[in-house]
Amino acid sequence: MSFLLDFFIWIFLGTYAALSIGQFFVLDWEKLNAKAGVRSCLLPLEYGELKMKILAIVFSFAFLSGCVGATVPVQGDSGLTVPPSTWRTQNYRVPGDNTGLLVIQRDTGMRGAACKPGMSLDGEDIARIDVGQKLELHLNPGRYLVRANPNQNCGAALAETFVEISEGNTTSYRLGFVDRSMILVPAAQ
């Protein structure tokens, strides 16, 4: 739904920009239309400054629409696994005896799309997680501090939480964005 809205906004803006540029730089529409006896449906040239301000405001809203779209939790187990090339450690990748599974699923959507937070476990860097990806960690039972550290493209503060892992169980968390904050919360089962 958000994609369609963005698509129509960009179509409108592109059309308006093309007409405005043609009116400002190429044609004197008022003179051409007066000669042809046609009334112009475009704003007259004397409103050029106003048109530029309106155009700047419309483009600003369209540009920022990518930052305000809500993130959407990935349903079920459909997220892409974090590629091995982005892992910073070999630990926690393979299930072992008496381990539990921690799954961190990154939301999809435009908000925070440039942000690729680095996940850490008790201070140890694990991997960077991108939009729509999931990170699966095989951990021994216990309590761990899980932290999402934003990269340089991200204006959000870090998100952290304590996670309790038990043997043979799967614990799922969701990493997303709300307003200007990154969140790390238990996922709905």
**What digits encode the pLDDT tens for the residues 82-103?**
888 888 988 888 888 899 999 9
Q: CB of 173 within 8 A of CB of 161? A: yes
**Residue 135: pLDDT above 80?**
yes
Q: CB of 141 within 8 A of CB of 147? A: no
**Residue 5: pLDDT above 90?**
no
> Over the stretch 20-77, which tens digit does the pLDDT of each residue have?
555 444 445 555 556 555 555 554 444 555 666 666 666 666 555 545 556 666 766 6
Q: CB of 86 within 8 A of CB of 113? A: no
Tokens 């008496």 appear where? 98
pTM above 0.75, yes or no: no
Hey, which bits of the chain come out as E strands? 80-81, 100-106, 118-121, 124-128, 133-139, 142-149, 159-165, 170-178, 181-186
| Structure tokens belonging to residue 13 | 């803006």
**Residue 163: pLDDT above 80?**
yes
CB burial of residue 85 (10 Å; 0-12, 13-18, 19+): exposed
Tokens 């991997």 appear where? 127
Measured at the alpha carbon of residue 93, what is the angle toward residues 107 and 152, in degrees to the nearest 5? 45
* Amino acid code (one letter) for 108: T
Buried b (16+ CB within 10 A) or exposed e, 13-46: beebeeebeebeeeeebeeebeeeeeeeebeeee
As a whole number, mean pLDDT of residues 135-139 equals: 93
Phi-psi region of 132 (alpha: psi -120 to 50; beta: other; left: phi over 0): left
Q: CB of 107 within 8 A of CB of 175? A: yes
Tokens 């904050």 appear where? 181
